[in-house]
Chains A and B, each alone.
Chain A
Amino acid sequence: MRLEPVLHPGPMRRMVPPALALLATVLVAALLAALAGANPFAVLGQIIVGATGSRLAILETLNRATPLIFTGLAVAVAFRAKLWNIGAEAQLYAGAIVAVLLGTGALAAPLVLPVSALAAMLAGALFLLGPVMLKVRLGVDEVVTTLLLNFIMVLFVSYLLEGPLKDPGGMGWPKSPALLPEARLPRIVEGLRLHWGFVIALLAAFVIWVVQTRTTLGFEMRAVGANLRAARFAGMPVTATLLKTALISGGLAALAGWSEVAGLKGHLSSDLSPGFGYTGIIVAMLALLHPLAIVLTALFVAGVFVGSDAMSRAANVPTYIADMLLATALLTMVLAILLTRFRVVRD
């Protein structure tokens, strides 16, 4: 068997495989729920209700989507240029650390939010710049370096939380002191648990979309990713483009950590991110790296997590079902998208 490209896919070929992928995802979830001894339909219903069934649930989903939009964008921007940034998790924590450093007393009211946001982006950007410099100068594989930096960062954060950044009033818990009120991102509507980080995330998606489609830098980033050799031949500044891509990608991932600390948690702890950096890869891949679609896939992924949490409490099915669901969704979607462009031919 082999694949033959389909040059002009019709509406059936475009729609049917993704629909089947969604169906397969639901079936796998149902099967897992049945294995856990619960009623599959009830479990699926509870996931949906848990993610969207109430104002609280919706707000929770939006909150959970916020860091995923940032990390999804970070991954998408880098992957579009074939820069394999697997280190969004570390860049996220770099942003979170800066949010704590600048948000616990160093700066005064009108400045603290914009300055700490910019400083956080700079920290994340520099954190990715190292691996990318190694890549362009020495050919070191950035998959390895960015991935391993994640573990270094996690250990560094726990050192900070046990040492220099430990909250003296934290009763021994490894967490940082709380941010000053003026360093916190306000809520969009007073009384509702949704902060301005979500709006900034939407804005970021829009800005990235404009950069990719309207600017020379976006053109260069796409060209370098699509055909490095042709980009170099055409006289594009390939190295500079990769470095700029790294700065943008790292900065976006750092905003995820910054907005979690400044908007949601108010302090830094070692469980700030349940793998938002890695989940960003799923978010970006499901969106086919399209910045605007990332908002939708981030909401979907966030909904699956939030819904599964709620379902787990009600149906006594482990929340791991969320990870299985997302893994199935990713695999079947990637396969489905392959099948919209290629047909399988039997020899």
Chain B
Amino acid sequence: MTPSPDKAGEVVLRLDGITKRFGNLVANDAISLDLHKGEIVALLGENGAGKTTLMNILFGHYMPDSGAITAFGSRLPAGNPRAALAAGIGMVHQHFALADQLSVAENVMLGTEPLFRLRQHRAQARSRIAGLAQGFGLSINPDARVADLSVGERQRVEILKALYRDVRILILDEPTAVLTPQESDALFATLRRATAQGLSVIFISHKLHEVMAIADRCVVLRHGRVAGMTATADTDRASLATLMVGAALPNASIAPGQGGPVRLRLTNVAAPGLRGLTLGLHGGTITGLAGVSGNGQAALADLIGGVTAPITGEIAVDGVPQVQWTPRQALAAGVGRIPEDRLRTGGIGDFNLAENAVLETYRTRFSRHGLMDWPAIRAHATEIIATCDVRCDGPGQSMRLLSGGNMQKLILGRVLGAAPRIIIASQPVRGLDVGAIAYVHAQLIAARDAGAAILLISEDLDEVQRLSDTIHVISAGRLSPGFARGSISQTDLGLWMAGQGFDHAA
């Protein structure tokens, strides 16, 4: 692909020296960036690199401390959310803002057209939407109710909303996080058509292979600064990753686990959101669970973690069927739980690190006669902080003040410190930077090698494929058969994720 400045000369959006400080933290440090007509620029960076802050400044949610934004030659007033919209800039967020009970067409019109209009106008709007959908290859029925749509289709509605408002600059925030590989390909096709018609796109992502596939240019942010800016054609994944992290990534492949006996077995288990699952987790292995978000992953994590009990079917630990299945029972049976949401379920934001470190063990290990043994608790927390390298002021600091990575390290230390024989890790690296991701993965592999049976739930196929000895796909609460390491391609996993194959299996 040719670098875009040759393709189209006109600069549609120019960020010039944008700087934003929060206290001592410089979130954006003199960031400058040009977007040309008809090009796709990928904005890359780890969490905390400043991508979100930059977009918030562009949309007027934050005032920059210095710097200017120019769209189509005229300067955008800072701190005015309407200015960006009026200038023809639109954004599709990770979390959609759609009215479930309305049709696609109504959602698209909402906020743009008056609510009460003559039938004729509605018909005109509807046909325009159908035309847009056709023109950009967004296959969607304008009369479908949004509640009945898949996540990928909802995203198309969001894109249609932007196109309907004649957006000329479209910003997509991690658009593929919720898509199957096939849906991602369809999205990319749409984006290519749209840019051919003059739309300019900023594509925020941290998935390098996608960036390589779709973007004309890449802008890499690190610690709030532009660490590099390059045409996609002149770079490769490894050098982009190096730019993001600031150092070369260790990319050693992971040795497979030594299979052991079945630690946890689910037999025909039904629970809210799960349909008749049978699954065995072997000691010394990592079982990966792939799937599009919201297909029963959370329900399965809750089930194994003891938060919900099976309605029918059986849970057996080391061959012993479990009669009562509660969080406490799961803990006693040796299940270590790394929950998806660190602040909502994993910890208590207003509690300090010491208190959070013993949430699961205060009764069994850190109290006597109903009295908390605070010196031992603080010592335990201090030990976790030291061994897991939790960056903090000490065990007395509130959990809320930690970064996501440090929260996860604390939770990991809490869970692994109890030497669990079964580990359920839900999205263990979501929102973490590369260094923290490497740490979490290394800890999981160490636990595996120590004999634990691990279930890794992730929406990142690369992560699942890299770590897992066996992969299952979950779709609409059903579980695919297990695929051994390396025995299934990403394309085939994508088909299972889209729900194909379940009817033949079973």
Contact = CB atoms under 8 A, between A and B. Distances in A.
A227 B372 contact: no
Interface stretch (B91-99, B191-199, B323-331): B323-331
B344 A216 contact: no
Interface string B370-404: 11101000000000000000000000000001000
Interface string A217-238: 1110011001101111111110
Contacts of A347: 63, 79
Contacts of A227: 344, 347-350
B280 interface: no
Contacts of B374: 214
Nearest to B355: A219
Interface residues of A, number: 21
Contact of B370 (A216, A223, A236): A216
Nearest to B349: A227
B39 to A, nearest CB: 32
Contacts of B326: 235
A23 to B, nearest CB: 29
Contact of B344 (A7, A217, A223, A230): A230
Interface string A326-344: 0000000000000000000
A39 interface: no
A247 to B, nearest CB: 15
A233 B331 contact: no
A216 B355 CA distance: 11
Interface residues on B, range: 20 to 34
A223 B351 contact: yes
A316 interface: no
Nearest to B346: A230
Contacts of B360: 234-235
A233 B362 contact: no
Given A226-B350, A233-B327, A233-B345, A216 B372 contact: yes
A214 B23 CA distance: 36
Interface in B331-372: 331, 337, 339, 344-351, 355, 359-360, 362-363, 367, 370-372
Most chain B CB neighbours (cut-off 10 Å) among A7, A223, A235: A235
Contacts of A237: 328
A7 B401 contact: yes
B307 interface: yes
Contact of A232 (B327, B330, B346, B372): B327
Nearest to B341: A229
Nearest to B358: A219
Contacts of A216: 362-363, 367, 370-372
Contact of A219 (B327, B344, B362): B362
A235 B370 contact: no
A233 B346 contact: yes
Contacts of A236: 359
B306 A229 contact: no
Contact of A215 (B23, B328, B370): B370
B351 A235 contact: no
B372 A214 contact: yes
Contacts of B327: 232-235
B12 to A, nearest CB: 26
A24 B206 CA distance: 52
A230 B345 contact: yes
B305 interface: yes
A235 B305 CA distance: 10
A143 B63 CA distance: 42
B347 A230 contact: yes
Contacts of B401: 7
Nearest to B337: A233
Contacts of A230: 344-348, 359
Interface in A192-249: 214-219, 222-223, 226-227, 229-237
A229 B340 CA distance: 13
Given A215-B371, A216-B371, A235-B326, A229 B345 contact: yes
Contacts of A233: 305, 307, 327, 337, 339, 345-346
A217 B367 CA distance: 11
Given A215-B370, A216-B367, A226-B350, A235 B306 contact: yes
B307 A232 contact: yes
A212 B414 CA distance: 23
Contacts of A223: 348, 351, 355, 359
Contacts of B355: 219, 223
Interface in B218-267: none
A234 B347 CA distance: 9
A95 B215 CA distance: 74
A9 to B, nearest CB: 12
A347 B81 CA distance: 10
A226 B355 CA distance: 12
Nearest to B356: A230
Contacts of A226: 348-351
A342 to B, nearest CB: 13
A66 B360 CA distance: 39
A81 to B, nearest CB: 13
Contacts of B372: 214-216, 218-219
A235 B330 CA distance: 9
A216 B371 CA distance: 6
Interface in B1-43: 23
Interface of B: 23, 63, 79, 305-307, 326-328, 330-331, 337, 339, 344-351, 355, 359-360, 362-363, 367, 370-372, 374, 401
10 contacts: A223-B351, A223-B355, A227-B349, A230-B345, A230-B347, A231-B348, A232-B327, A233-B345, A234-B360, A347-B79
Q: List the 6 shortest-distance A-B pairs measured between CB atoms, nearest first.
A: A235-B328, A235-B327, A234-B359, A227-B348, A233-B345, A226-B350
Given A222-B351, A230-B348, 19 more contacts: A214-B372, A214-B374, A219-B355, A219-B362, A223-B355, A223-B359, A229-B344, A230-B347, A231-B359, A232-B327, A233-B305, A233-B307, A233-B337, A233-B345, A233-B346, A235-B306, A235-B326, A235-B331, A236-B359
